Structure 1
Amino acid sequence: MQHMVKSIPALGWNIIVGTLFARMATSMSMPFLAIYLTAAKGVSPALAGAVIGVSALVGVFSSFIGGSLSDRYGRKRVMLVSIAVWIVVFIGFAFAEHIAAFFVLNALNGVCRAFFEPSSRALLSDLTKPENRLMIFNLRYGAINAGVAVGPWIGLQLGSAKSTTPFLAAAIVYTLYAAALLLQFRSYEENRQTTTKERVMMRDSIGVLRKDLLFLAALIGLILSTAGYSQFSSSLSQYFANSTKFQGGVELFSHALVLNAVTVLLVQYPLTRIGKRYSALVSVMIGTLVTSIGLLGYGFAASAWMVYAVTVLFTMGEVLMFSMTDLFVDQIAPKHLKGTYFGAMGFSGFGGVIGPWLGGALLDHFGYEHGEIIFALLAGVCALGFPILLLVKLRLDRNRSAQAGSEKLHA
């Protein structure tokens, strides 16, 4: 383990540490945006859900473009340009007044994340030996949750549910991150296969993914899983803040956010060790089921301690899903199309569009006092991802068996 950690280059550590502080800055404000819009701006839950969901909607379509561009032009250019625009977006959030401005800014937020994230993950894959990639992907995932563990508490102290001021702090943090990346990139030369004859064209990338039907089926399953997971930062925050079941719902939600992140840090290593005994896809499948059970539990939780217990369960499902997703993509992606496949995985973010909109619509229809019905329906949507992913696994196993048999015949 120590040897693997030492094998990570300086640029890899830059991305991991930068991810920690960037997510801390983002989680000071973004998780409270739905509450701010409903409480301070007086918009409906469905409209607030739409504002939250537009980021994922734009990200769904731009993630593939960002990943493909990183294959074609290099990770450095895509990452630096996207983070520069991101800084401007956070400054815009701090001064936005009208709901239309929040729509536009959150759409741009989705574009920046969709360009930066697959490019950075592909770069981590470029920098790391295959046997070390699960470790570096999980270090990145751990950094995300370490940041999220601290960010909501800071945001609550700064009044994130009533103010957009914390976005200025996020802009400052992202500026420092951009400066660190720029300095590190000066001593890094990209070894890209896409500089001459093997340059990846957009139409070629689309053609490859269109033919990879198993990957597309896996995406559909992940969309449903993500639709369930997205409730944690959209519908759940509104439900806690407005349901008469809970006193101090905003504080309860911030505590659940922190518990979620801390739980990730505590269970990530043991759960991924167990997950390594099976395939990455099996871990994602089990995580989908556990997440759906957690959603159901939120509907029936009637006290803070019940909420905390369900959050731990929900988080275990999250870890099983997301700690292995990057490894699954890395294993099936051709070497020269890593950015394209990581970018295409952004289509799973369509669940982040469906989820907030569906959750907000159900809150509008049933009201805040019928959490049992609302979260049972949302859990059912999430659970639908399991049978689709199971079919993908069975087909992959069949293909591997056929390939092994063919190799024996030609041996």
Structure 2
Amino acid sequence: MSAVAIETATPTALPRAFWALWVCQLVNRLGSFVQPFLVLYLTHDRHLSAGTAGAVAAAVGAGTVCAQLVGGWLADRVGRRLTMLICFFGTAAALILLGSAREMVMIWVAAFLVGLLGDLFRPAVQATIADLLQPTERVRAYGLLFWAINLGFSVSTVSAGVLASVGYGLLFWLNAGTSVIAGVVIWAMVPESRPVLDESAPRRPLLGVALRDTVFLLMILIQIGYATIYMQGYSTLPLAMSGDGLSSRTYGLVIALNGVVIVLIQPFLGKWMVKLDRTKLLATSMLVVGLGFGLGAVVHSWWGYGLSVVVWTIGEIGFAAVIGAVFADLAPIDLRGRYMGLSGMAFGVGTVIGPLAGTNALEHFGPTATWTGCAVLGVVIFIGQYSLAPALHARAEANA
């Protein structure tokens, strides 16, 4: 094994700024108390109807989709570090505003701001990792960030239930506090990493470049297809399990396997995944997710659905570890943040399409056809992603 490979496989090879981002992600997710309990807060404390509360939650989602474009633009124009600082300190203020808002207009505005400001971080951190690390190091780095997110979120969802019994208002203040701590970590330990470009050169418009980038556009479509499948776990799956006579508590226990599997096995899979061809690993991971959901066509017990969750979670681990690295290889240096933002927005589009498509398919065609459709879509995006491997390799070499 070469010296370079040995250094890449050593945890200390990753720079201090990366580990600061890792801590930042962990702290931020440890305090993610509000979103899982937002609908309950709005219906219990603000006495809104379930439909209105759901619409307010959708406003958070709309802000999240917009954040991908805005965050990518800010990351390229004003810098990665400033974008992340705006995200964390702005999110803290938006959370306090949402927790104290009484008028519906202010609740709507605050909810949108929580989604918008809270997700500005995503394209900025994706671009920062690509700036700081060599292509051979990125898969491991993105995988570690994914693990930190899920570790923090797993802890926060359990502790939030206990804290909510004291009072929902406490959730907003604690969530805002962890956001401020994350911002302080960025301010103290993460330098600006945006590449220094020739200021005399004209700035290229994002759409002008992206719309001519066929490989990138195909990747965007594949990303939407993947997100469409993935979102069935949080929309169609509970309905299908209910149709098989399983309780909502059983669904909660089954879907909890997702976080458990990620926290327990991702660090071990991460060491193995860095040795694989990332474009083919991405294709295979998407296929595993599709086939994992496809198992729903033949299972009807809690353990069968649990097996399905474990299978597609393994695919999710592979996808999350390499998708950022693949888009980083694909992105032009001067548009890196905005390319990452479009990637995130594509996933957001899939999170809108997925619940609509899955629940309607379940209602009109039944569970067997719905889950078979997930498996077929998984095969389609696998073929598409695998076919793009040569073009992605060529772009990675050109942008190295």
Common fold by TM > 0.5: yes
Q: How many residues align?
A: 387
Q: CA deviation at 1:6?
A: 1.7
Gaps of 5+ in 2: 1-5
Rate the CA distance shift 1:298–1:174 in 2: closer, same or farther, 3 A.
farther
Rate the CA distance shift 1:381–1:347 in 2: closer, same or farther, 3 A.
farther
Q: What SS does structure 2 have at the residue aligned with 1:345? A: helix
2:76 corresponding residue in structure 1: 71
Rate the CA distance shift 1:2–1:398 in 2: closer, same or farther, 3 A.
closer
Once the two structures are superposed, the pairs formed by residues 332-351 of structure 1 within 5 Å of their partners are 332-348=330-346, 349-351=348-350
* 2:131 is aligned with 1:131: no
1:43 corresponding residue in structure 2: 50
The one-letter amino acid of 1:153's match is V
* 2:122 is aligned with 1:117: yes
Q: CA deviation at 1:145?
A: 1.4
1:355-392: per-residue Cα shift (whole Å, max 9, x none)? 244456668x57xxxxx925853662574254245235
2:310 to 309, 312, 316: 312
RMSD, aligned α-carbons: 3.8
Once the two structures are superposed, the pairs formed by residues 4-403 of structure 1 within 5 Å of their partners are 4-26=10-32, 28-33=33-38, 41-44=48-51, 51-95=56-100, 103-159=108-164, 163=168, 165-185=170-190, 188=191, 190=193, 192-194=195-197, 196-198=199-201, 201=203, 204-234=205-235, 236=237, 245-247=245-247, 249=248, 251-256=249-254, 258-272=256-270, 275-276=273-274, 278-297=276-295, 302-348=300-346, 349-359=348-358, 373=366, 376-377=369-370, 380=373, 383-384=376-377, 386-388=379-381, 390-397=383-390
Distance in 2, Cα, partners of 1:331 & 1:252 = 41
Rate the CA distance shift 1:392–1:300 in 2: closer, same or farther, 3 A.
closer
CA contact (8 A) 2:80 2:192 kept: no
| Superposition TM-score, scaled by structure 2 size | 0.80
CA contact (8 A) 2:206 2:338 kept: yes
Bigger relative contact order, structure 1 or 2, given CA contacts below 8 A and separation 6+? Answer: 1
Q: Which moves more between the two structures, 279-288 or 171-180?
A: 279-288
Q: CA deviation at 1:219?
A: 0.8
Distance in 2, Cα, partners of 1:167 & 1:298 = 37
Q: CA deviation at 1:334?
A: 2.4
Rate the CA distance shift 1:289–1:189 in 2: closer, same or farther, 3 A.
closer
Q: CA deviation at 1:329?
A: 0.8
Distance in 1, Cα, partners of 2:138 & 2:328 = 8
Q: Which moves more between the two structures, 139-148 or 303-312?
A: 303-312
Q: Which moves more between the two structures, 174-183 or 394-403?
A: 394-403
Gaps of 5+ in 1: 367-371, 405-411
Q: CA deviation at 1:211?
A: 1.1
Rate the CA distance shift 1:375–1:152 in 2: closer, same or farther, 3 A.
farther
Identical-pair percentage:
24
Distance in 1, Cα, partners of 2:395 & 2:117 = 42
Q: CA deviation at 1:17?
A: 0.9
Distance in 1, Cα, partners of 2:282 & 2:198 = 35
| Superposition TM-score, scaled by structure 1 size | 0.78
Distance in 2, Cα, partners of 1:399 & 1:352 = 25
